[in-house]
Amino acid sequence: MISRLYSAAVNGITGYEVQVEVNVQKVEDTGRFVVVGLPDTAVRESVQRVTAALQNSHFFCPGQVLATVNLAPADVKKQGPGFDLPIALGLEMALQNNYAGLPEAFRRRIPEGIEDWCIVGELALDGTVRGVRGVLPQAVAAREAGKKYLMLSPENAREAAVVEGLRVCPVENLQEAWNMLLDGAEKSNTAAVPADGEEDDGPDFDEIKGQPYARRAMEIAAAGGHNLLMCGSPGSGKSMLAARLPSILPPMTHEEALEISTIHSVCGLLPKTGGLLKRRPFRAPHHTISDVGLMGGGSIISPGEITLAHHGVLFLDEFPEFSRRTLETLRQPLESGVVTISRASGSMDFPCQFMLVAAMNPCPCGYLGDPKHACHCRPADVARYRKKISGPLLDRFDMVIEVPPVDPASLLSRPDGESSAAIRARVAAARTLQQQRYTGTAVRCNARLSSKQLYRYCPLTENQRALLLAAVEQFGLSARAFDRILRVTRTIADLAGRETPEDADLLEAIQFRQFESELRA
């Protein structure tokens, strides 16, 4: 008789159910332990881990038995050590059902309701149950498959507890897991696992000194989800401003928090406190990052930095120092909000609706136009440095601003700017207006408006049309930049609570692209 337990695995960032089937039969020669169903190296090595864990946990392990483990569906590659625990339990169940030589002291009655369990966990050689990556999407898959109980390591308990409708049953070791499976979760001493994660306050905007123009740009970018490029000399505060941007972004919805937490769970980046992430992600990769590190991929396809920044901020400091090829790969995901990774084994789509915030120096030495430091860069060097950012990529920014050096007098004074909480309240109010306006569409913020939607939701007067046309001709802006000015105009009006944009809103939006012409020169 075959024993059958249920586990779960992850394909990309989506969980799916896996059936763990175990068959045992007595053989005359030395026994064997075989795992089939497209296992990777980590799964094949479970044979050694499971055998040692059973022996060290004082389970019966006959030597003349052929044990065959099938992981279904058999046409999907299985990865990771999370099948150790269900394989070990399934092997013991198969021995109970189908091995006449099992001593009476080891016999236990297999109860009904085994199909209500989903079991995930890695086994140490002494039988300790260890945590694994991607438990959150696996818990979602278990609930969708109709499971009532999820057995796993205490390390993963809080992470899985955010999934409603599924009872989380943490176990410390293999013996405890076996007893719980046979006795039932209702008879165990398992207490409810709290699901709330901890929230880190993070840096605050009231620590910024000076830079009112850049602070205003940050508020507009947060209110509309706009991409922003900052150019300024070293020490002007570009990185400091960017690091505080998440603190003024609107609170996440439950769906957004679950989506972001799922991505971070797959990558093993959820905090040990567990629960859903409370703050929007802020990713700041180094400029030496590879294409795969930024976009995702690898031999085992996994999300990259742009997917980890989903619903949050991707900050690229020293923007021109990134590989030209790496930067150009950003163009399509910035437009579509989805990155497609194609390999010989197949393709996979990852979400990547993020705000791109970049910072750069005006020249290789960084001091072009700085009143306190002389720049010794040749014009050809400056032009070469700026041309590392292509025109099509520059067009993907909604705002391009200059960040001047901070006045020394401001450095000696106390910070006098608003706190992140005050700015976030205005940003949240603007986002609420946008959500109400775009009800029934796929648009969540102004930055995602299509050209057709712009004409509907951002109507212009004849005077505003003339102003915009003059700006496009004067600064040599493209059609894509034209649309981005309108999106920023719509956001500025939302921050002011106006349903129809005024001339001042359009002029301010144009001002945030004025510096772009200098970078293109």
Facing residues of 360 across strands? 231
Q: Does 451 fall in a domain?
A: no
Query: How far, in Å, CA of 297 to CA of 309, rounded?
Result: 16
Is residue 366 within 8 A of residue 403, CB to CB? The reply is: no
What mean pLDDT do residues 398-410 have?
A: 87
Helix (H) or strand (E) holding 340: strand 338-343
pLDDT of 66 reads 83
Note the pLDDT tens digit of each residue in 80-124: 999 999 999 998 888 876 665 666 555 667 777 889 999 999 999
Q: Assign 3-class secondary structure to 55-100.
A: HHCCCCCCCCEEEEEEEECCCCCECCCCCHHHHHHHHHHHHHHHCC
Q: What is the pLDDT of residue 19?
A: 96
Task: Tell me whether residue 339 is in a domain.
Answer: yes
Over range 275-294, report the average pLDDT.
92
Please check whether residues 166 and 303 belong to one and the same domain. no
Is 467 part of any domain? no
Q: Which of 410, 442, 474 is the last residue of a domain?
A: 442
Within this chain, do residues 235 and 377 fall inside the same structural domain, yes or no?
Answer: yes
| pLDDT for 64 | 66
The answer to the question of residue 290 being in a domain is yes
pLDDT at 186: 61
Residues 70 and 123 occupy one common structural domain: yes
Task: Based on DSSP, count helices (H) and strands (E) in the chain, helices before strands.
Answer: 22, 18
Tens of pLDDT, residues 180-210? 988 876 645 454 555 555 555 678 898 888 8
> Average pLDDT, stretch 153-174?
92
Alpha helices in 184-316 (DSSP H): 212-224, 238-243, 254-266, 291-295, 305-308
Angle of helix 503-511 relative to helix 462-475, nearest 10 degrees? Answer: 10
Question: What was the pLDDT predicted at 196?
Answer: 57
Which pLDDT score, from 0 to 100, does residue 18 have? 96
Asked if 176 and 217 sit in the same domain, the reply is no
- Considering the domain architecture, whether residues 104 and 221 belong to the same structural domain is answered as no
Q: Kindly tell me if the per-residue pLDDT of 407 is higher than 90.
A: no
pTM listed for this prediction: 0.88
Residue 227 lies in a domain: yes
Tell me the C-alpha to C-alpha distance, in Å, between residue 79 and each of 37, 122, 152, 309, 438: 11, 12, 17, 24, 41
Q: Judge if 158 and 256 occupy the same domain.
A: no
Same domain flag for 243 and 335: yes
Provide the CB-side half-sphere exposure for 259 (13 A, CA). Answer: 15
pLDDT computed for residue 271 by the predictor: 84
Q: 52 exposed, middle or buried (CB, 10 Å; 0-12, 13-18, 19+)? A: middle
Average pLDDT over residues 472-485: 86
Q: Is residue 405 in some structural domain?
A: yes
State how far the Cα of 342 lies from the Cα of 360, in Å rounded to an integer: 32
CATH code where residue 419 lies: 3.40.50.300
Q: How many domains does the chain have?
A: 2
Rounded to a whole number, what is the distance in angstroms from the first to the last CA of the chain? 77
Do 176 and 222 fall within a single domain? no
**Mean per-residue pLDDT for 396-425?**
85
**CATH number for position 145:** 3.30.230.10
Domain that holds residue 141: 3-187
> Is 244 part of any domain?
yes
pLDDT at 16: 95
pLDDT, tens digit (0-9, with 9 covering 90-100), for 204-261: 898 888 888 999 999 999 999 999 999 999 989 999 999 999 999 999 988 999 999 9
Half-sphere exposure of 198 (CA within 13 A, CB side): 6
Check residue 110 and give its pLDDT: 73
Q: Lowest-confidence range among 66-80, 106-120, 264-278, 438-452?
A: 106-120
**Residue 473 banded pLDDT, cuts 50, 70, 90:** confident
Strand-strand pairing, 3-11 and 14-26: antiparallel
How many angstroms from the chain centroid is the CA of residue 393? 23
165, pLDDT greater than 80: yes
Same domain, yes or no, for 175 and 219? no
Strand order across the 14-26 sheet: 3-11, 14-26, 65-72, 32-36
Asked whether residue 228 falls in the same domain as residue 95, the answer is no
Q: Is the pLDDT of residue 514 over 80?
A: yes
User: Between residues 419 and 27, which one has the greater pLDDT?
Assistant: 419
- 229 and 96 within one domain: no
Query: Which of 420, 442, 464 is the endpoint of a domain?
Result: 442
Q: What's the average model confidence in pLDDT over 259-287?
A: 89
| Predicted local confidence at residue 478, as pLDDT | 82
Which of 60-64, 325-329, 425-429 has the weakest average pLDDT?
A: 60-64
Quick check: is 23 in a domain? yes
pLDDT at res. 152: 95
Mean pLDDT, residues 365-375 taken together: 89
Q: What is the 3-state secondary structure (H, E, C) of 99-165?
A: CCCCCHHHCCCCCCCHHHEEECCEECCCCEEECCCCHHHHHHHHHHCCCCEEEECHHHHHHHCCCCC
Average pLDDT, rounded, for the chain: 88
For residue 306, CA distances in Å to 240, 312, 321, 353, 360 come to: 21, 9, 18, 8, 19
20-48: average pLDDT:
85
Same domain flag for 237 and 289:
yes
Write down which residue in 442, 462, 493 finishes a domain: 442
Instruction: Give CA–CA dist 295/313, Å, rounded.
Output: 15
The predicted structure's pLDDT at residue 360: 96
